[in-house]
Structures are given as structure tokens and as C-alpha cells.
Chain A
């Protein structure tokens, strides 16, 4: 009897505490059924980011996947969208590989079977639908289906730089283009209508909040030139004077940059609705956000001294002087400490940056970390050219052929680009040297065209 009472005395409070953590949040480590993938570990304790409902099947998870990744897949013209598999004529195929749902290929919390790109299927899965590819493409006849996604050949989702016509069209480009395409975002800070450019004497921060250093930096930078005073960022109607405004303030004017930032690993923990804890009964739980990413949480090598740096807009840009040159290299290398980053400082790309700094090359010729990982994206809007920096540094990171069109092809030919991206050792050395191998996809594409043209 006493033992039973003891059991109840321990089990009931423990059960209640566990239930409260499940429902309201907190340290949910005991709920993780396996190591979370590299893409999601930052938000793994916000279970309801993906598990939006206790009820429902794969559709519920699918909606969560699409909520974060849908727009990106649409933007890259996804080669295998869900709509390709919903037609009943594909029933036999979907019975073998249900490609209507992301989780068929990307199961979470399954570390033992998780491969690069968070794929949890054996790497020959293409065979299920494309087993007769050898009949259509004799060049593919004796290839192993485990090699389809080898760098430079095919991706399941993004084939913008890999489709046959594109390969054919760009087949003859030299390794280095004679005229590298230099794109610059010209910072033309202009005051809004009715406002004027501000100078140091205009700074309206109250006494005690107006350091000379901050005012000098601000007065020389875009915000002052654009007519944005101290109060434009620091004064909040409810909170009063905010010493260190965060993402919520910045995105009031820089919505696209902020959206990109929270779509990538640097800012994903700051996505709206991601909570560490939610409001609970009797004031036991208070609503708290997940909070910013820090290098200490990262799974790639970081400098220990940067461990506690909370990532927000001003981490890379500086609080008052939004120095783009610093954001291009120094900000990245301030935290990242992997082989690729370290090798950058002896790389041909870095040499270009040094030559630009010395005035030997025109502005924009240098290649910094951000040149490739946060490239300028160009769009036509209302018939006008619109250029802005991609603030989601993961958008073109993996598979690395995603970097080909938006970055590499600005300066290099497609053949050289695909060969270089396929050489993992070369990537690790930050492109010091030449590609060791050759990806034959371009040769096959051009050969096939010649044969077909001859046959016609």
C-alpha cells in the first residue's frame, strides 16, 4: 500500500509535468524520437512548427512542409511537384513511392537512414518511375540509378541549371567569361517625400541614449541620408525607447530582406509563431519566443569566441553603420570556422577582393562570402529591373548546383562550373586549383542533339 502511494506520489506529478511540457513547451528533449536533421535541429523543440495537429495523417505534416518550403520550390520550378503525382494514372507509381508527400523521401528524426539533402530513401529511388530511361537516352543505358543525383546531372527538385536545352545552350562557354558580370546594389538612400537628409545635429535620441560614436556612425550612413532619425528605429509607441531594436523593427522597412533572413538557418528561429513556451494555466507558463540562433547551436564548425552571438540584422550589418563590405566577408568569418571558410583567405576569389580594395579592379569585382552565398537576385517588376541581396544564405547552398545560375555563371562557363561544383575536395579548398574530374552531362546533351539533328 505504501509503495503504491509512493508510486502515485512520484508518477502523478511527473506525468503532469511531462504533459504540461508537451502542451505548453519547455525542455522537450525527451520527446525527440531521434536526432533531428541538420535542416530542422534549430527549431526541434518547437514541435508544433511541424506537428501542427495531434490528429491527421501525412496531410498535416505536408501542410507544415509547404508552409516553410512551398514558395521556394515554386520559385525554382520544382521538377517533381505534388501535382505531378495526384493523377490516378500514377496510382501504381505512388503505391511504390508516394511522392505526393515530402515525408516519403524526407523522414525526420531518422538519423541512421538520413543521407545528404535529408533524403531517407536509398539513393536509387529514381528507378521506380524512370526504369526505361535507357531506351530514351542510350547514354544512360548502363548507368547505375544510384548516380542520377551525382553533381552536375540531376536534382529531384531544382534543375534550372541542368536541363538539356540549358546544357546545350551554354556548352561552349570558356572557363572564365571574358566579361564577368558585375552586379551591384547601388545604395541610393534618398529621403522620403517631404523629408530631408539628416546630419549629426539632427539626432533626436534622448540624453543618455545619444553616444557620439553611434551618432557619428549613423550620420555617415544610409539611414541619416534617407531621413530616418534615431526615433525612427528606437522609439516604440508601447515600449517607449528601445535600446536595441530587432528584426521586428527592421522589417517594417526591409520586409523582403527580413523574409529571406528568417527563411535561412541564420534567422529561422525568429519565424513568427515559433514558440519555446506558450501561455499556460495559473501563470505557470508564459509565452516566449524561440529566440535567435547562436553559433553555439550550430552543427558546423564555429569560432568558440562567437558562441553566444545572437543572430539578428545588426549582427552582420552593425548597429549604426550598415557596412556592406563588412557584411560581405568579415561578418561571416567572425563566426564560421570550417575548412572552406578558412581556405577562402588564400583563394583566387579573395585575391579579387583584395585587388578591388586596392583599386586595381572596378567596384564589385571582388568575390566575398556573400557574393556567392547571399547573391544579388534580379527580378522584373512593373517592367523595371529590381535587384536585391538574397538574405537566405541557404537558398542556393545544397545541392550546390543551385548556385550555378545565380552565382557561378556570372563569371564562369557552365562546363567549368559543373565540374568545379562536383569536386568536393576543390570546394573544401575554396576553389584553389582546378576541378579534378569532368561531368559528362554537357557532352551527352550536345552529342544527342547532333545525332537527332542528323537523323531529322
Chain B
């Protein structure tokens, strides 16, 4: 390597390092700026997310499914809604939203589970899910919060009761051949929404 090329190479290296240092500094500044903003406690974030989820879920169940299927009887809701030209079930609507949100934003996840699931893949699997679902079923009006480690990552996990908000919920879950229960009543706890947020 000639002297001038060496010099150019060193210059390039220095410029590169300087650029990287600048970028790191910018990141630190940005970090400081973010840190200066009021941080929202993770529990509050979970509560906020749940407020949106449960509201949308209630609106779809009451104003779409219950109204059109149970009251006006103009269309049904069906697990195989594509084949049957029907509405997606409220539980499917919720899951589709959860899957789309997971693709858009990896900083939280959520699912709808139950101690009495029609789809057995939705029964509690982790210890905290079991505790949380039992807690919200036995302590109506209260939420459950905890921390768990899954796949080597630590999560703040919140469990909220999922309530039978309309006759459509009750009739479907009591009559479905795969449902382990047939004695649900309106306003009963039928399961729970589990929200997870990774924490360091």
C-alpha cells in the first residue's frame, strides 16, 4: 500500500469512526430526551391497551354479531366464515387483531384464553396464565398482574376477565359441541385477555 493510499485508508477509518461516534452520541442524546419524558408504568400501559381491546371486542360482539345474528337474524357468525359466507366469530376477530398487531409492533402481545376453551389451544399453558385466569374468574372485577420468564425473556403479564357481554356469547359457548361448559350466563367470566410486555 503506498503512503498516500495508507493515509486515505486511515482517513477513511477515522471518518468512519467519527461518523459512528456521532451516531452513538445522537442516540444517547435521543435517549436522554426520551428519558426526560414522563414514563408510563408498564401496568398502566397494559391497562390502556386492554381498554382499547375490550371496547372493540364488546362493540363487535354487541353491535355486529349479536344484532345481526341473534336479534335481526340476517347473517350468522361461524368459525368457517369464509366457506359459510358468515361473520367471523368474536374470538376470531380478536385473534386476527392480535396477530396483525404482533406483526406491526413487537413490543407487546396479547391473546384470549379460557379455563373452558372451545379450541383447546386456548387453554392456559404457562403457570402464570393458570394463576391469572383462575384469579379473574374467582375475583370478579379484579385484574391479575405478574411477571414471568418465557424463552429466556422476562415479561410483565396482565390478565383481565373476559365477560359474556351479550346473549350471543352465552348461546354459542353453551351450545357449541366442543365447549366443555353449557351453563354460562350473561355477565359471567368466560375467560381472560392476557397481555404481555417484555421488561428488562
Residues of A at the B interface (CB closer than 8 Å) are: 77, 81, 83-84, 86-89, 91-92, 94-95, 136, 163, 165-166, 449, 452-453, 456
Q: Which of B83, B99, B150, B175 contacts A88 (CB 8 A)?
A: B150
Q: Do residues A89 and B194 form an inter-chain contact, with CB atoms below 8 A? A: yes
Q: For window 39-98 of chain B, which residues contact chain A by CB distance below 8 Å? A: 79-80, 82-83, 98
Q: Do residues B151 and A166 form an inter-chain contact, with CB atoms below 8 A? A: no
Q: Do residues B103 and A89 form an inter-chain contact, with CB atoms below 8 A? A: no
The CA-CA distance from A87 to B109 in the complex, in Å, is 6
Q: Which of B80, B98, B177, B182 contacts A166 (CB 8 A)?
A: B80
Q: Do residues A89 and B111 form an inter-chain contact, with CB atoms below 8 A? A: yes
Q: Which of A84, A89, A95 contacts B125 (CB 8 A)?
A: A89
Which label, helix, strand, loop or mixed, suits the secondary structure of the B interface?
A: mixed
| 7 closest residue pairs by CB, A with B | A91-B151, A83-B99, A452-B177, A91-B150, A88-B150, A87-B109, A136-B120
Q: Do residues B80 and A89 form an inter-chain contact, with CB atoms below 8 A? A: no
Q: Any chain A CB within 8 A of the CB of B126?
A: yes
Contact A88-B80, Cβ < 8 Å, known A83-B99, A453-B177, A456-B182: no
Closest Cβ–Cβ distance, residue B82 to chain A (whole Å): 7
The CA-CA distance from A163 to B178 in the complex, in Å, is 14
Q: Do residues B177 and A88 form an inter-chain contact, with CB atoms below 8 A? A: no
Q: Do residues A166 and B83 form an inter-chain contact, with CB atoms below 8 A? A: yes
Closest Cβ–Cβ distance, residue A406 to chain B (whole Å): 13
Contact A95-B151, Cβ < 8 Å, known A165-B80, A166-B83: yes
Closest Cβ–Cβ distance, residue A58 to chain B (whole Å): 16
Q: Any chain A CB within 8 A of the CB of B162?
A: no
Q: Do residues B175 and A456 form an inter-chain contact, with CB atoms below 8 A? A: yes
Q: Any chain A CB within 8 A of the CB of B14?
A: no
Q: Which residues of chain B are within 8 angstroms of A92 by Cβ–Cβ distance? A: 125, 150-151
The CA-CA distance from A63 to B120 in the complex, in Å, is 31
- From B83, B129, B155, B196, residue with most partner A Cβ within 10 Å: B83
Q: Which residues of chain A are within 8 angstroms of B102 by Cβ–Cβ distance? A: 83, 86-87
Q: Do residues A87 and B111 form an inter-chain contact, with CB atoms below 8 A? A: yes
Q: Which residues of chain B are within 8 angstroms of A81 by Cβ–Cβ distance? A: 99
Q: Which residues of chain B are within 8 angstroms of A83 by Cβ–Cβ distance? A: 99, 102-103
Q: Which residues of chain B are within 8 angstroms of A91 by Cβ–Cβ distance? A: 150-153
The CA-CA distance from A166 to B196 in the complex, in Å, is 35
Q: Which of A89, A449, A453, A456 contacts B150 (CB 8 A)?
A: A89
Q: Which residues of chain B are within 8 angstroms of A136 by Cβ–Cβ distance? A: 120
The CA-CA distance from A84 to B109 in the complex, in Å, is 12
Q: Do residues A456 and B151 form an inter-chain contact, with CB atoms below 8 A? A: no
**Number of cross-chain contacts by CB at 8 Å:** 48
Q: Which residues of chain B are within 8 angstroms of A77 by Cβ–Cβ distance? A: 82
Q: For window 137-152 of chain B, which residues contact chain A by CB distance below 8 Å? A: 150-152
The CA-CA distance from A92 to B129 in the complex, in Å, is 14
Q: Which residues of chain B are within 8 angstroms of A94 by Cβ–Cβ distance? A: 151
Q: In this complex, what residue of A is CB-closest to B152? A: A91
Q: In this complex, what residue of B is CB-closest to A453? A: B177
The CA-CA distance from A86 to B198 in the complex, in Å, is 13
* Binary interface encoding of chain B residues 105-148 relative to chain A, with 1 for a CB under 8 A from any of its CBs, else 0: 00001010000000010000110010000000000000000000
Closest Cβ–Cβ distance, residue B101 to chain A (whole Å): 10
Q: In this complex, what residue of B is CB-closest to A91? A: B151
The CA-CA distance from A209 to B76 in the complex, in Å, is 61
The CA-CA distance from A86 to B155 in the complex, in Å, is 14
Given contact pairs A88-B196, A91-B151, A166-B80, enumerate 4 new A-B contacts (beta carbons under 8 Å): A77-B82, A88-B151, A89-B129, A449-B177
Q: Which residues of chain B are within 8 angstroms of A95 by Cβ–Cβ distance? A: 151
Q: In this complex, what residue of B is CB-closest to A380? A: B85
Contact A89-B126, Cβ < 8 Å, known A452-B177, A456-B175, A456-B182: yes
Q: Which residues of chain A are within 8 angstroms of B177 by Cβ–Cβ distance? A: 449, 452-453, 456
Contact A88-B103, Cβ < 8 Å, known A77-B82, A166-B80, A456-B182: no
- From A81, A83, A163, A452, residue with most partner B Cβ within 10 Å: A83
A–B pairs, 21, beta carbons within 8 Å: A77-B82, A83-B103, A86-B109, A87-B109, A88-B151, A88-B153, A88-B155, A88-B196, A88-B198, A89-B111, A89-B125, A89-B126, A89-B129, A91-B152, A91-B153, A165-B79, A449-B177, A452-B178, A453-B177, A456-B175, A456-B182
The CA-CA distance from A225 to B93 in the complex, in Å, is 48
Q: For window 150-168 of chain B, which residues contact chain A by CB distance below 8 Å? A: 150-153, 155
Q: In this complex, what residue of A is CB-closest to B84? A: A165
The CA-CA distance from A247 to B127 in the complex, in Å, is 58
Q: In this complex, what residue of A is CB-closest to B111? A: A87
Q: Which residues of chain B are within 8 angstroms of A84 by Cβ–Cβ distance? A: 99
Closest Cβ–Cβ distance, residue A72 to chain B (whole Å): 16
Q: In this complex, what residue of A is CB-closest to B120? A: A136
Closest Cβ–Cβ distance, residue A21 to chain B (whole Å): 29
The CA-CA distance from A456 to B173 in the complex, in Å, is 12
Q: Which residues of chain A are within 8 angstroms of B83 by Cβ–Cβ distance? A: 166
Q: Which residues of chain B are within 8 angstroms of A86 by Cβ–Cβ distance? A: 102, 109
The CA-CA distance from A30 to B196 in the complex, in Å, is 48
The CA-CA distance from A89 to B133 in the complex, in Å, is 14
Q: In this complex, what residue of B is CB-closest to A165? A: B80
The CA-CA distance from A94 to B152 in the complex, in Å, is 12
The CA-CA distance from A335 to B163 in the complex, in Å, is 62
Q: Which residues of chain B are within 8 angstroms of A166 by Cβ–Cβ distance? A: 80, 83
Closest Cβ–Cβ distance, residue A134 to chain B (whole Å): 12
Q: In this complex, what residue of B is CB-closest to A135? A: B120
The CA-CA distance from A92 to B149 in the complex, in Å, is 11
